[in-house]
Amino acid sequence: MALKAAIVMSVISIAMLVIYGADVMVAGHDAGNDNGNEKAGFLQMNASVRGSIFGIVPSAMLIISFFITRKEPSEKLGILITIGGALIIIGTAIILGMEGGNLPDRAMREFGAVLAIGIIIVILGVLKIRKSTRIAAT
């Protein structure tokens, strides 16, 4: 049961991350420099709210999906978690590229933290895949 819940949570997380990325791309403005005041994109949320709902929640769900199934092997879940982490890393890189390095120090630290979370999630996904393939090999 936990495995099915974790897979559903991971799929929802990936969908939320894709929506978040698409909204940032549609907004096409200074995503890291608007001080959270401007509503832009198709979600019509300021950057702070959008980041909280469509960034923090999916990240937490991916991490939770790993830990609630830590004793259960699942290559499929590992792949989903890895995809989610990769989306976070790629999205961060795209936003930084869109900004052209014109970000205040605070925004750079925030992007660094997001990048670190993405890397951690990818590592968790790889660990889940490795555990699953080891068990399958025996």
Specify the number of domains making up the chain. Answer: 1
CB 65 within 8 A of CB 81: yes
Please report the sign of the dihedral spanned by the C-alpha atoms of residue 113, residue 101, residue 53, residue 23. Answer: negative
pTM: 0.85
Rounded Cα–Cα distance for residues 28 and 115 (Å): 20
**Range of 32's domain?**
2-137
Q: For position 138, what pLDDT does the model report? A: 65
Tens digit of pLDDT at every position of the chain (138 positions)? 899 999 999 999 999 999 988 888 887 754 444 454 566 678 788 877 888 898 899 999 999 999 999 999 999 999 999 999 999 999 888 888 877 767 778 878 888 899 999 999 999 999 999 998 887 776
Q: For position 89, what pLDDT does the model report? A: 95
Q: For position 79, what pLDDT does the model report? A: 97
Q: For position 30, what pLDDT does the model report? A: 45
Paired residues of 45 in beta bridges: 40
Residue partners of 32: CB distance under 8 A and separation at least 6? 47, 95, 99, 103, 104, 107, 110, 111
Rounded Cα–Cα distance for residues 69 and 3 (Å): 6
Rounded Cα–Cα distance for residues 101 and 84 (Å): 25
Rounded Cα–Cα distance for residues 106 and 45 (Å): 21
